[in-house]
Structure 1
């Protein structure tokens, strides 16, 4: 698990790319600059780790494009000490970005193969979510709610009501909504019963799997 000067240089270039694409949150950019993204990828893809693209990982899933991770994290508008629920742990890279920012992270993964792999891997490299759960992301984690932010890292055909219910007032749900192409959508809880909705353009994600059992 090496992190060479070359890797660090490539990360700096990636951060500059993200700046040019409009990411302005310094805490997000600093986290991306610190985290060795190549550790989260299969060895065959290490050369591509700092290109702003998504790449395949286990269980037919992908590690999201760095811009997507940065944009979703920025849209959460969370600060050090806040709590975030992540739906779709995947490779663990999004969790690591949040943890690097001083966020308390709860995360759910639906794919057992990925869950086992990532729950061993993250602590090994020094990133420890508060809770990592194998389960159905559509249901969230009501026993640990409410959250300052909830981020969904897969394409959802609809907005799961339990996730909205688990937000604090003032909290944000960042979720890509749609079937083939998703619209990045942010719901801000403005009161116990009201939510404000904003949309932030088209993205492409692997689908959010629902537990049909």
Structure 2
């Protein structure tokens, strides 16, 4: 008899997601895989959607807000070569899942969530999962949180039109931003750097992600 997702306990469902979705699709960073294995994704999904917690699709958690699909998040993190002593800024973590995964990879995570209700949910979820090295702050996404920086890594959970200069300037030397950039309507998972005032963008892979409000590309005037 085949085992259905309903018959699996949360740990088994998580492992099934890793074995069936992540490992066959170029998620090769062992630290990232181990971190994901330690976080119960189901704990961060609204009650009415727990049955689809482990499918490879974005999950709606509030109006215009979605959790990144598991594969997109895992692949993004795999490209970052994350070191345990790095300070990470997690932008728009919604219910806290991305922050929980990051908490297993680094010593300290600062998470900013501008939706007050979601920030409270994330705080509770992370406490329940004993992610004690994450600080969740109710603050504006596109402004970052300079007073807690500079950061070695910034993760933006969603598709954005542009990276605000305010965020770029919160990076350490050698720091990087992981995000999904909107390029003519197509999502491109990207690793962004900022050195001596110059932004560099490395396209990693195509990704489907819902648009995150507040990251509009600035209009350039032509004279």
Q: Same fold (TM over 0.5)?
A: yes
The reply on whether 1:81 has 2:85 as its aligned counterpart is yes
Question: What TM-score do you get using the length of structure 1 for normalisation?
Answer: 0.88
Distance 1:45 1:69 in 2: 19
2:146 pairs with 131, 142, 148, which one? 142
Please say if residues 154 and 178 of structure 2, whose CA atoms lie closer than 8 Å, have aligned partners that are also in contact: yes
Aligned Cα root-mean-square deviation (Å)? 2.2
* Stretch moving more, 59-68 or 151-160: 59-68
The reply on whether 1:209 has 2:216 as its aligned counterpart is no
1:184 equivalent in structure 2: 189
Question: What TM-score do you get using the length of structure 2 for normalisation?
Answer: 0.84
Tell me by how many angstroms 1:182 deviates: 2.1
Residue 86 of structure 1 aligns to a residue whose secondary structure is strand
Tell me by how many angstroms 1:5 deviates: 6.3
Tell me by how many angstroms 1:130 deviates: 4.1
Distance 2:95 2:134 in 1: 17
Distance 1:75 1:172 in 2: 11
Tell me by how many angstroms 1:95 deviates: 0.2
| Structure 2 unmatched runs, 5+ | 1-6, 216-223
Tell me by how many angstroms 1:154 deviates: 1.6
1:168 pairs with 167, 172, 180, which one? 172
Distance 2:205 2:78 in 1: 14
Distance 1:35 1:27 in 2: 13
1:199 equivalent in structure 2: 203
1:35 equivalent in structure 2: 39
Tell me by how many angstroms 1:152 deviates: 0.5
Please say if residues 169 and 192 of structure 1, whose CA atoms lie closer than 8 Å, have aligned partners that are also in contact: no
The reply on whether 1:109 has 2:107 as its aligned counterpart is no
1:20 equivalent in structure 2: 24
Please say if residues 43 and 125 of structure 2, whose CA atoms lie closer than 8 Å, have aligned partners that are also in contact: no
Deviation track 1:58-86 (CA, whole Å, cap 9, x = no partner) reads 33422221111111222222111211111
What is the number of residues matched between the two proteins? 208
1:10 equivalent in structure 2: 13
The reply on whether 1:123 has 2:127 as its aligned counterpart is yes
Residue 13 of structure 2 aligns to a residue whose secondary structure is helix
| Structure 1 unmatched runs, 5+ | none
